[in-house]
Amino acid sequence: MAAHLRISEAARYLGVSDDTVRRWVDAGTLSATTDAAGRKVVDGYDVAMAARRAASAPDATTGMASSARNRFTGLVTDVKADGVMAQVELQCGPFRVVSLMSAEAVHELGLEPGQVAVAVVKSTTVVVETPTGHA
């Protein structure tokens, strides 16, 4: 059985405002019930499906197909480059993404703080954790 999430939690996971989640509930896009404390909650499965629909929307920015499924658009917040290598930090919503790349790539891409960039992640190892007490 999927968890029930408070409106603010659902909004945080979906990357939208609380008001947007409330509008989606009013429109029937997300179903809501009331928890034991009398607060409005949405079904975790419905939130997961809404997130999946948003994530599967075509990416019009590249015009190319890709096997990578993890794309994080954000702002470059820091670039540290020495002779050969560089470290680039992006703030993608609430997530900090750090990439190590060649200094040549940083120069070719013109990466500098304040620039919009997309971190594309393809990984064979992804660790999934749950809150303590949940199996």
The single-letter DSSP state of residue 96 is E
> Of 3.40.50.300, 2.40.50.100, 3.20.20.10, 3.40.630.30, which CATH number belongs to 70-121?
2.40.50.100
- Torsion angles phi and psi, residue 101, rounded to 5: -150, 175
For domain 4-55, the CATH class is mainly alpha
Its pTM stands at: 0.59
pLDDT digits 0-9 by tens, 25-83: 999 989 899 988 999 999 888 888 887 776 555 555 566 677 777 888 889 999 999 98
Helix axes 18-27, 7-14, angle to 10 degrees: 100
Q: Looking at residue 20, what is its pLDDT?
A: 92
- Torsion angles phi and psi, residue 68, rounded to 5: -75, 135
Percent of the chain's residues with pLDDT above 70: 88
Domain ranges of the chain: 4-55, 70-121
